[in-house]
Amino acid sequence: MNNDGCARGDIAGGSDGDAAALAGCGTGRRVSYQLYIDGGIRLVADAWLAESLLGVLRDHLGVMSVKDACEQGRCGSCSVLMDGRLVASCTVLAADAAGAVVTTVAGLGAGGPARAVRAAFLAHGAVQCGFCTPGFVVAVTDLLARRPDADEDEIREALAGNICRCTGYGRIMAAIRSIQDTRR
Amino acid sequence: MADSRSSGDQEFTDHAAAGQGIGRSVPRPDGADKIDGTFPYAGDLFLPGMLHARTLRSPHPRARIRRIDTAAARRLPGVAAVVTAGDVPGRATYGLIVADQPVFARDVVRYQGEPVAAVAARDARAAVRALAAIDVDYEPLPAVTDPERIVSVGGEVDPLHPDGNIFREIHLRHGDPAARGTVQVSDSYVVGMQDQAFLGCEAALVVPTADGGIDMRVATQWLHSDREQIAACLGIPEDRVRLTLAGVGGAFGGREDITLQIHGALLARVTGQPLRIRYDRVESFLGHPHRHPARLWFRHTASRRGQLVSVHARVVLDGGAYASSSPAVLANAVTHASGPYRVPHTVVDGWVVRTNNPPCGAMRGFGVPQVAFGHEAQMDRLADALGMDPVELRRRNVLEPGDVLPTGQLVADPLPLREAIATVAARPLPAPVSDRTPVTSLPGGRLAAADPGRVRRGVGYALAYKNLLFSEGFDDFSTARVRLELGPDGTPRAVVHSACAEVGQGFVTIAGQIVRTELGVDQVLLAPADTAIGSAGPTSASRQTWMSGGAVRAAAVTVAERLLGRAAGRLGLPPEVVAEPRRLLALADGEIVASEAGTRLPLADLLADGPVEAVEVFRHRRTQPLGPDGQGDVHVAFAVAAHRAVVDVDVDLGLVRVVSMALAQDVGMVLNPMALRGQAEGGTAQGLGLALMEELVVDGGVVRNPTFHDYVLPTIADVPALDFVALTHAQPGAPYGVKGVGEAATCSATPAVVAAVRAAIGRDLRRVPIRPQDLVLPPGQAHPADLVRPDAGGGG
């Protein structure tokens, strides 16, 4: 994925072959559809069929809180909920998300569990550069909603799809534990 | 901090304003925006109607360019400009230390991914089509990818660049090169290429200006170095190049070098239109320099009682195609090669050479993690040979104040090495593997379902020290402005202006804490970091809290001085008091207090006459260049770290789980316990990554894994909780006695994890990252032929 929204399998970025593969994108079908994002309806007009949800969110709709770090489903920076299920939005075709309820960090709500997650991340220093943070907030909120009493191993397994390069995860774990402790 | 030994916390908090001064776990001022996703990173910025720029890169590690034809690309709809080497109006090359890297390759490419052309188009899709339409006729040449070959031929055969093939060589001699102890261990070690892998890929927004210059918002580590290089290559005065820091999604050394800045600036000038230039992950991997791969050889000798007598070392770093910061990285590797130990006789021969591999430069630790892996492996081997406990061997040999380093430099400041290693050795150990251990806690986690009977536990230790700030006589400084004024609501506030690049490390937090402590105001605003003020130097070398923190503190102190002077005048005190107002006046809790008269003047009253402002430049003590034989007072100061790692290894699958890590780190004094922990934990995780998984695999000059799918980073399932102890001994010459904390832990984490794995399975592990085959294949196959031979030649 690039910011032109073209998926590709070739990893030899910048090579002749890569440029050729990318240039082949954008010749497919163009479509228009609606997305339900954070409680609102957004019209996506004239998008390529192959564009990812991440690409459409950022490049068509200007939803910049959804981050683009790897575009391979490996880092979780673009985590959103789709019909309540945690997904890497770079691995979802945007057109497939038409009709689904998409929730980004902004749609998690000002109160409830998301509020506790936000407050704990700030208070416990779980944020450094912050690039992974919106995705982590979505993933942690999702985990604690499903498994409020998850033990340490379960937490670590559940969040292993979200890469943080700054914190070494210590303050993220501290934030999560503080939320669990407050509830008990 | 619960287990910090800081005795200075109380002292700091006494005059901290509203609990937000130094010594407190103040949260980040940008934290809420980052959590909500509203914090604007460089790649999030856009302007209506902006162009989109992309870069064409060489697919070959080495080739002659016979011809570049851009005519077809220029004719494509939506393409605004295509630029190549011939379009660079100023200096054709750039570089952090030596300008040896072409803005665009002209007649030869020297690494896979070297920029050849760049395009700007109305959208990214059109830009990509234009790249594909550029016809470059390459004649591939045999790539030189073995750094040992460059060393063995003396660098002069088949020069890859007019500057030659050796960026630097150092031959350190200290003591008697013939001296030997009775016990000897020697071996070779290999360090793979690590990448910084910051999450926010390179990006900049560039706007051409009416004066023929550019405004740029960019994610970088050093605005002023970028500006100097951009201006030189555009051939315009520096004051027409105005840079502002955009949100930076991590750095770790990977943004010290120019990547897309000059390309973006050139395209904006050529098109006369605003544009965004950015990389995706693959291009990020190809576009910025990495940590130097290293080939190391050591021979340690000691007395029977375990006193080190001599260390001989050979250090070969692969600098890749261009210099970047290679000369400085080599100086670090050579001067730290024998580790934080008292060694009477030291011989180190070091080279950093040019190859057709990707350029290498700065990454957290800057040459020290490579040699720390080697010298700590050697200390363990020596302990084995002596039949001595590895912790005890280290305790007997650590440097102490009054000792002399292999450079001849005297250890003058606190260096709590013995305390560090003793501290981690005394921390409680995790419970051993038993029948009750859940399978998710074994190597491989939930997926691997390891057999507990085939899991081996190991414990390893490592000790390292890392220089702080710039070395070798560099005139290093930072500039800061502090203004105390009345805000719109009539309450006093301070505004801080510094060009310090906030890359996630938390300078924005620390700067506020310092100003609150010095001026007693609650409200501190940070102006955007930009080139409208003097340089703050780079966010690297563990230097910003010390250097830019020092500049902010100095400016705040001057503001306080001027404010007290104004108060003395207002109170009608005699001229000698106005000149030296601290004799009678003090600033406390937002008021000026006249100690004798008991008079109090609110800050707001004084500031009604106008703001008080000061600009200060902070410098650290001067050092010397590294002289002949690698001698000289070259380093400003050092920080110490000791790690203990506990690992479980699945001996069938070759999987490792790090069960626990303990760290004792020498931090000077603690300014923000929470931020300090974050640095210690993050630095540890990157060292763990180098030990067990992170390697950019380069084969014949071609990068095989430039994606997050194939470049494996530590996840939350890989990094255990860190048992962290801060050792506090005030550092002379530093603001509040602080030391930089970003790097030391990275240097000791890697060797500690390797030592633990070695202890678990009883194999000599001489390569990082450790790969599963290194753990399960028969030893003869586990070590590839890429290990360096000590007799590989090269003189010295």
What would the two tokens of residue B163 be? 């500057």
* SS3 per residue for B242-272: EEEECECCCCCCCCCCCCCHHHHHHHHHHHC
Average pLDDT for B664-692:
98
With beta carbons less than 8 A apart as the criterion, state whether B731 and B545 touch: no
- Per-residue pLDDT for A1 more than 60? no
User: Which residues on B lie below 8 Å from A176 (Cβ)?
Assistant: none
Nearest CA in chain B to A126: B678
**DSSP state at residue B28:** P
Q: What pLDDT sits at residue B17?
A: 43
Pick from B44, B278, B281: which is nearest to A64 by CB? Answer: B44
Q: What is the CB neighbour count within 10 angstroms for residue A98?
A: 15
Pick from A13, A129, A171: which is nearest to B677 by CB? Answer: A171
User: Which residues on A lie below 8 Å from B503 (Cβ)?
Assistant: 129
Q: What pLDDT sits at residue B6?
A: 38
Query: Tokens 């509830």 appear where?
Result: A183
Nearest CA in chain B to A26: B125
Average pLDDT for B170-188:
98
pLDDT in tens, A141-171: 999 999 999 999 999 999 999 999 999 999 9
- Per-residue pLDDT for B508 more than 50? yes
Q: Hey, which residues 184-223 in chain B have their CB within 8 Å of chain A?
A: 196-201
Nearest CA in chain B to A168: B682
Beta bridge partners of B462: B643
Alpha carbon distance B592, B598 (integer Å): 10
Q: What pLDDT sits at residue B340?
A: 98
b/e B219-240 (16+ beta carbons within 10 angstroms → b)? bbbbbbbbbbbbbbbbebeeeb
Q: What pLDDT sits at residue A16?
A: 36
Contacts of B503 (CB under 8 A, 6+ apart): A129, B198, B219, B221, B248, B250, B251, B255, B539
**Could you tell me the pLDDT band of residue A184, with boundaries at 50, 70 and 90?**
confident
Q: What pLDDT sits at residue B109?
A: 98
- Per-residue pLDDT for B678 more than 50? yes
What would the two tokens of residue B202 be? 């390179």
With beta carbons less than 8 A apart as the criterion, state whether B679 and B741 touch: yes
- Indicate the range of B452-456, B458-462, B748-752 predicted with least confidence: B452-456
pLDDT > 70 in chain A, percent: 85
CA dihedral B9, B12, B13, B16 (to 10 degrees): -150
pLDDT in tens, B194-225: 999 999 999 999 999 999 999 999 999 999 99
Q: What pLDDT sits at residue A71?
A: 94
Q: What pLDDT sits at residue B781?
A: 58
**Could you tell me the pLDDT band of residue B444, with boundaries at 50, 70 and 90?**
confident
**Could you tell me the pLDDT band of residue B266, with boundaries at 50, 70 and 90?**
very high
Do the Cβ atoms of B678 and A170 come within 8 Å?
yes
Crossing angle (nearest 10°) for helices A170-183 and B673-692? 120
Assigned CATH class of A29-72+88-103: alpha beta
Average pLDDT for B535-539:
98
Do the Cβ atoms of B681 and A168 come within 8 Å?
yes
Higher per-residue pLDDT: B734 or B597: B734
Beta bridge partners of B238: none
- Per-residue pLDDT for B529 more than 50? yes
Q: Hey, which residues 104-143 in chain B have their CB within 8 Å of chain A?
A: 112-113, 123-125, 127-129, 131-134, 136
Do the Cβ atoms of B681 and A171 come within 8 Å?
yes
- At position B457, the amino acid (one-letter code) is R
User: Which residues on B lie below 8 Å from A75 (Cβ)?
Assistant: 199, 708, 713
Do the Cβ atoms of B59 and A16 come within 8 Å?
yes
- Give which of B333, B252, B365 is closest to B744, Cα–Cα: B365
Q: Is B236 left (phi over 0), alpha (psi -120 to 50) or beta?
A: beta
- State whether residue B109 is helix, strand or coil: strand
Q: Hey, which residues 264-323 in chain B have their CB within 8 Å of chain A?
A: 278, 280-283, 285-286
Crossing angle (nearest 10°) for helices B673-692 and B368-386? 70
Burial (CB < 10 A; 0-12, 13-18, 19+), residue B692, is buried
Q: What pLDDT sits at residue A27?
A: 55
Alpha carbon distance B97, A155 (integer Å): 45
Alpha carbon distance B753, A127 (integer Å): 26
**DSSP state at residue A58:** I
The secondary structure of B52-103 as a DSSP string is EEEEEE-SSSSEEEEEEE-HHHHHSTTEEEEE-GGG--S-SEE-SSS--EES
Alpha carbon distance A150, B516 (integer Å): 40
Beta bridge partners of B354: B320
Q: Give the minimum alpha-carbon distance from A43 to chain B in angstroms, rounded to a whole number.
A: 19
- Indicate the range of A71-75, B434-438, B643-647 predicted with least confidence: B434-438
Alpha carbon distance B161, B106 (integer Å): 12
What would the two tokens of residue B753 be? 């994890």
What would the two tokens of residue A132 be? 């992974």
- At position B626, the amino acid (one-letter code) is L
Pick from B440, B441, B504: which is nearest to A166 by CB? Answer: B504
**DSSP state at residue B731:** P
The domains found in chain B, sorted by start residue, are 9-39+477-619 (3.30.365.10)
Q: What is the CB neighbour count within 10 angstroms for residue B774?
A: 22
Cα–chain center distance at B767: 22
- State whether residue B232 is helix, strand or coil: helix
- Does any CB of chain A come closer than 8 Å to the CB of residue B31? yes
Do the Cβ atoms of B716 and A129 come within 8 Å?
no
Alpha carbon distance B145, B140 (integer Å): 14
Mutate to test the interface with A, among B291, B715, B748 (most CBs of A within 10 A): B715
Q: What pLDDT sits at residue B448?
A: 66
Nearest 5 degrees, angle CA B315-CA B320-CA B323?
A: 90
- At position B147, the amino acid (one-letter code) is P
User: Which residues on B lie below 8 Å from A1 (Cβ)?
Assistant: 280
Q: Hey, which residues 32-71 in chain B have their CB within 8 Å of chain A?
A: 32-41, 43-44, 52, 55-59
Computed over every residue of chain A, the mean pLDDT equals 87
- Per-residue pLDDT for B435 more than 90? no
Query: Tokens 């002209």 appear where?
Result: B106
**pTM for this structure?**
0.94
Query: Tokens 């390797």 appear where?
Result: B754
Higher per-residue pLDDT: B573 or B558: B558
What phi and psi values does residue B137 have, to the nearest 5 degrees? -95, 105
- Per-residue pLDDT for B790 more than 90? no
**DSSP state at residue A93:** B
What would the two tokens of residue B592 be? 């000026």
What phi and psi values does residue A158 have, to the nearest 5 degrees? -65, -30
Average pLDDT for A161-183:
97
Helix (H) or strand (E) holding A101: strand A101-103
Contacts of B721 (CB under 8 A, 6+ apart): A170, A173, B660, B661
User: Which residues on A lie below 8 Å from B438 (Cβ)?
Assistant: 153
CATH architecture type of domain A108-183: Orthogonal Bundle (1.10)
With beta carbons less than 8 A apart as the criterion, state whether B574 and B441 touch: no
Domain with CATH 1.10.150.120 in chain A: 108-183
Higher per-residue pLDDT: A7 or A91: A91
- Per-residue pLDDT for B19 more than 90? no
Burial (CB < 10 A; 0-12, 13-18, 19+), residue B779, is exposed
- Does any CB of chain A come closer than 8 Å to the CB of residue B746? no
Q: What pLDDT sits at residue A19?
A: 38
Q: Give the minimum alpha-carbon distance from B655 to chain A in angstroms, rounded to a whole number.
A: 16
Find the distance separating the first CA and the last CA of chain A, reported in whole Å.
Answer: 43
User: Which residues on A lie below 8 Å from B440 (Cβ)?
Assistant: 153-154, 157
- At position A121, the amino acid (one-letter code) is F
pLDDT > 70 in chain B, percent: 95
Nearest CA in chain A to B503: A129
Domain with CATH 3.10.20.30 in chain A: 29-72+88-103
- At position A159, the amino acid (one-letter code) is L
